[in-house]
């Protein structure tokens, strides 16, 4: 059977209907981001739930997110961590970070989430120094698509054995698809996918939910 655009939309709608439940805190986080004029590019509730489930399958002590936006995915991720587990989330736009901080407060998670404001390629090396190798249970990449290979290079040593590297938009950013691989952002995402797939210490696959989610587990 051919996956036509109409079938894809129907599949997304079905996933949203059946697996897209969310509570008032998450609903409010989406509404507040829209109200503040943030771009409508947060993960959908079904993807958020997948992030939570995946985080809950790890040791769940420490997660790192690259690309906070209004905090929507950060709330899901943190809910998947073990009690007391922490999220460090990186955002270069201080307005986005401000909206996210408010939502983390409202969600009762501000004691477990730290927002680091700055460009990821500047923040990550310092963070790597601070956290040390093998310290991160879940890393979620969702910022500048052109920089995905560098994010992977910086996060790679930080992931704990048994930990997960996740990345959003790996089948193409912003609703595009693999047939637009000529675009710089998509080409860079493709490079990262191939680097992760070839990394001997990871087992990786990408699932075509929304814009595609890479799931890579550090096996050694
Ligand atoms: N993870 C969020 C969505 C992130 S959207 C969610 O699903 O809820 C991407 C975010 O990354 C935007 O807020 C953007 O400002 C930020 N960003 C883009 N380039 C960045 C960079 N180089 N460093 C840090 N943040 C960046
Ligand atoms: Mg994304």
pLDDT > 60? residue 119: yes
Residue 150 banded pLDDT, cuts 50, 70, 90: very high
Q: What pLDDT is attached to residue 184?
A: 75
Please work out whether the CB of residue 115 comes within 6 Å of at least one atom of ligand 1.
Answer: no
Residue nearest to atom 3 of ligand 1 (CA): 42
Cα–Cα distance, 198 to 182 (Å, whole number): 22
Digit-coded pLDDT (tens) for 41-85? 999 999 999 999 999 999 999 999 999 999 999 999 999 999 999
Q: What is the predicted pLDDT for the residue at 177?
A: 62
> Quick one: pLDDT at residue 160?
98
Q: Mean pLDDT of all residues in the chain?
A: 94
Q: Which ligand is nearest to the CA of 48?
A: 1
Residues 220 and 216: their CA atoms lie apart, in Å, by 12
- The CA dihedral of 157, 174, 98, 149, to the nearest 10 degrees, is 20
- pLDDT at position 175 over 80: no
Residue keyed to tokens 């996956």: 3
- Whether 50 lines ligand 1, by a CB cut-off of 6 Å, is no
CA of 144 to the centre of ligand 1 (A): 7
Residue 173 pLDDT > 70: no
Assess whether the C-beta atom of 154 lies below 6 angstroms from ligand 1. no
For 141, the 3-state DSSP assignment is strand
Ligand number nearest CA of 99 is 1
Q: What are the pLDDT digits (tens) for 79-115? A: 999 999 999 999 999 999 999 999 999 999 999 999 9
Q: Residue 153 — pLDDT band, cuts 50, 70, 90? A: very high
SS3 217: strand
Sign (positive or negative) of CA dihedral 71, 72, 77, 81: positive
- Judge if the beta carbon of residue 117 lies within 6 A of ligand 1: no
pLDDT at 166: 98
DSSP secondary structure, 30-98, as one string = HHHHHHTT--S-SPPHHHHHHHHHHHHTS--SEEEEE--TTSHHHHHHHHHSPTT-EEEEEES-HHHHH
Residue 185 has pLDDT above 70, yes or no: yes
Q: What spacing in Å lies between the alpha carbon of 3 and ligand 1's midpoint?
A: 30
- Give the pTM: 0.96
Give the β-pairing of 213-218 and 159-168: antiparallel
In this predicted model, what pLDDT tens digit does every residue of 1-30 receive, in sequence order? Answer: 787 888 888 999 999 999 999 999 999 999
Write out pLDDT tens, residues 120-132.
999 999 999 999 9
Q: Is the distance from the beta carbon of residue 69 to the nearest atom of ligand 1 less than 6 Å?
A: yes
Q: Are 172 and 178 in contact (CB under 8 A)?
A: yes
Supply 40's token pair.
């409508």
């Amino acid at each position: 059977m051919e996956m036509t655009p109409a079938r894809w939309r129907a599949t997304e709608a079905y996933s949203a209907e059946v697996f897209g439940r969310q509570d008032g805190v998450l609903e409010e986080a989406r509404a507040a981001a829209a109200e503040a004029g943030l771009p409508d590019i947060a993960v959908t509730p079904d993807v958020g739930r997948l992030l939570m489930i995946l985080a809950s399958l790890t040791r769940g002590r420490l997660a790192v997110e690259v690309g906070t936006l209004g905090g929507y995915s950060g709330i899901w991720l943190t809910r998947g961590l073990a009690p007391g587990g922490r999220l460090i989330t990186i955002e270069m736009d201080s307005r986005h970070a401000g909206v996210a901080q408010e939502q983390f407060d409202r969600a009762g998670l501000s004691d477990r989430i730290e927002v680091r404001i700055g460009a990821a390629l500047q923040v990550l090396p310092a963070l790597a120094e601070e956290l040390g190798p093998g310290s991160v249970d879940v890393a979620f990449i969702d910022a500048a698509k052109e920089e995905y290979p560098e994010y992977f290079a910086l996060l790679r040593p930080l992931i704990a054995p048994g930990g997960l590297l996740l990345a959003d938009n790996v089948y193409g950013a912003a609703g595009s698809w693999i047939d637009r691989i000529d675009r710089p952002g998509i080409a860079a995402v493709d490079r990262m996918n191939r680097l992760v797939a070839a990394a001997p210490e990871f087992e990786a696959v990408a699932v075509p939910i929304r814009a595609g989610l890479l799931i890579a587990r550090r096996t050694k």
